[in-house]
Amino acid sequence: MPAAHDVDGPTADARLEDQRERAEARYELVIHRAPVDDAGWRTLRRALRLSRADRPWLEARTPGPVRRGARADLVPLLARLEQSGHAASIRERDGDG
Locate the domains of the chain by residue range.
Answer: 26-92
Q: Which pLDDT score is estimated for 7?
A: 53
Q: Which pLDDT score is estimated for 2?
A: 43
Q: Which pLDDT score is estimated for 95?
A: 63
Q: What span, in angstroms and rounded, lies between the C-alpha atoms of 88 and 44?
A: 11
**pTM, whole model, 2 decimals?**
0.76
Bond prior to 63 in cis (omega within 30° of 0) = yes
Q: Which pLDDT score is estimated for 82?
A: 96
Strand pairing of 88-92 and 64-69?
unpaired
- Which strands sit side by side in the sheet containing 27-31, from one edge to the other? 64-69, 27-31, 88-92
For 60, how many CA atoms within 13 A lie in the half-sphere containing its CB? 5
The kind and range of the H/E element at 58 are helix 55-61
Q: Which pLDDT score is estimated for 1?
A: 37
Q: Which pLDDT score is estimated for 9?
A: 65
Q: Hey, which CATH number is domain 26-92, 2.40.50.220, 3.30.1390.10, 3.30.930.10, 2.60.40.3470? A: 3.30.1390.10
From first to last of its 97 residues, the chain has per-residue pLDDT tens of 344 554 556 788 878 877 777 777 789 999 999 999 999 999 999 999 999 999 999 999 999 999 999 898 999 999 999 999 999 999 998 865 5
3-state secondary structure of 39: helix
Q: State the Cα angle at 93 between 88 and 97, rounded to 5°.
A: 125
